[in-house]
Amino acid sequence: MGLAMETATSASTILPFTPSVARATEGLYARVSQVVPEIEWAVHAPYVDAINRLKRQKNAVILGHNYMTPEIFHCVADFAGDSLQLAREAARTDAKVIVQAGVHFMAETSKILSPEKTVLIPDLRAGCSLAASITGADVRLLKQKYPGLPVVTYVNTSAEVKAESDVCCTSSDAVAVVEDIARDRGVDAVIMTPDEYLAANVAKQTPVRIIAWKGRCEVHERFSASDIRGYREANPGVVVLAHPECPPAVVSEADFAGSTSAMINYVGKQRPARVVMVTECSMSDNVAVEFPDVEFVRPCNLCPHMKRISLPKILNSLQTMTHEVTVEPAIAVRARAAVERMLAVKTSPQRAAA
Ligand code: 13P
Ligand code: SF4
């Protein structure tokens, strides 16, 4: 074990790129070399090596969202996916420790589903504009205003908001969840929080009436329909894939809309010659590694919250076992019921919130 493994390494310490690190990580570099320049790999590789050794010693699993940078997504994450897949994996894993390479609501969801595990987030400031847009008190007021209507809540929310909700949804199961709860409660309308654009995109696909909150994702709200027309003009034949957190006018202009993993599956199955993923920056880098035959046009909107997660912070998190994410048991029990109800709903990729 090297010195870096014995003592806590601060997130700003630079580890040396030694010949043994180069040998231990050469297979991983071969995987990401087309999106990570060699000069950057010399900085990443010592962390990749240290993290991969330490996570085995600590019986830890790293759950990485599709928006993580390629050196995290491809080189240290044990499981990568969209919000729904990460929630399912958190419920399933046998590891004692979960390091959430994603944002705070994802770590809370993992804790809610695995209360006996230690859940760590490498940077506590990794928030989300959607999660910040609504509180538990707001949901209680909505329920008073629309008595009898069930509340469907996007997983991009705090545990407190989930606890006030009847069921959660993600962008890959939202239509199925809305229809399931409306059928079960015998109602023709539901309250959907907090993303007004996801709600509007779901409303286009179901007869269930949707009463929406006014939250927005600060990454996806910035795309416009004229951006999409611009990509098509500049890149003839390009296939446009959009995330359902985008404004409905953007989704209408796209060839396909779905969760981050639904977009990846689309590229894998259809193999378009040229594609643009209308979502967070790192997605295209991560997917380009898998499909070198596909040309990715890369407009770029960064999520500042996702980008707070870095290799040095993941290593520090494992070394110091910080920052532990906890959820008050009384809230966790109610939030878990809403998440589990979502996990029980049968979904198919065709019913994604597109
Ligand atoms: P999905 O990965 O579920 O599509 O969500 C995207 C997102 O914005 C997560 O923060
Ligand atoms: Fe939140 Fe949007 Fe960032 Fe996802 S991409 S974490 S929804 S701000």
Q: Is 243 in the pocket of ligand 2 (CB under 6 A)?
A: no
Q: Is 218 in the pocket of ligand 2 (CB under 6 A)?
A: yes
pTM > 0.85: yes
pLDDT digits (tens, 9 = 90+) for 121-138: 999 999 999 999 999 999
Q: Distance (Å, rounded) from C-alpha 52 to C-alpha 43?
A: 15
Ligand 2 atom nearest the C-alpha of 245 is 7
Ligand nearest to the CA of 282: 2
Listed range (1-5, 275-279, 314-318) with the worst mean pLDDT = 1-5
Ligand nearest to the CA of 173: 1
Listed range (45-49, 71-75, 161-165, 348-352) with the worst mean pLDDT = 348-352
Q: For atom 4 of ligand 1, which residue has the closest CA?
A: 259
3-state DSSP call for residue 83? helix
Ligand 1 atom nearest the C-alpha of 155 is 3
3-state DSSP call for residue 132? helix
Residues at CB less than 6 angstroms from ligand 1: 66, 82-84, 156, 170-171, 217, 243, 245, 259-260
Domain assignment of residue 337, yes or no: no
Dihedral, 66, 130, 258, 347 alpha carbons, nearest 10: 100
Q: Is 280 in the pocket of ligand 2 (CB under 6 A)?
A: yes
Give me the residues paired with residue 97 across strands.
60, 118
Which residue, among 44, 211, 188, has the nearest Cα to 141 in the 3D structure?
211
Same-domain status, 310 and 246: no
Owning domain of residue 282: 220-297
Same-domain status, 21 and 123: yes
Ligand 2 atom nearest the C-alpha of 103 is 6
Same-domain status, 204 and 228: no
Quote the DSSP letter at residue 67.
Answer: T
- The count of structural domains within the chain is 3
pLDDT digits (tens, 9 = 90+) for 177-211: 999 999 999 999 999 999 999 999 999 999 999 99
**What is the pLDDT confidence band of residue 11, given thresholds at 50, 70 and 90?**
low
Ligand 1 atom nearest the C-alpha of 258 is 4
What CATH number did the domain enclosing 259 receive?
A: 3.40.50.10800
3-state DSSP call for residue 73? helix
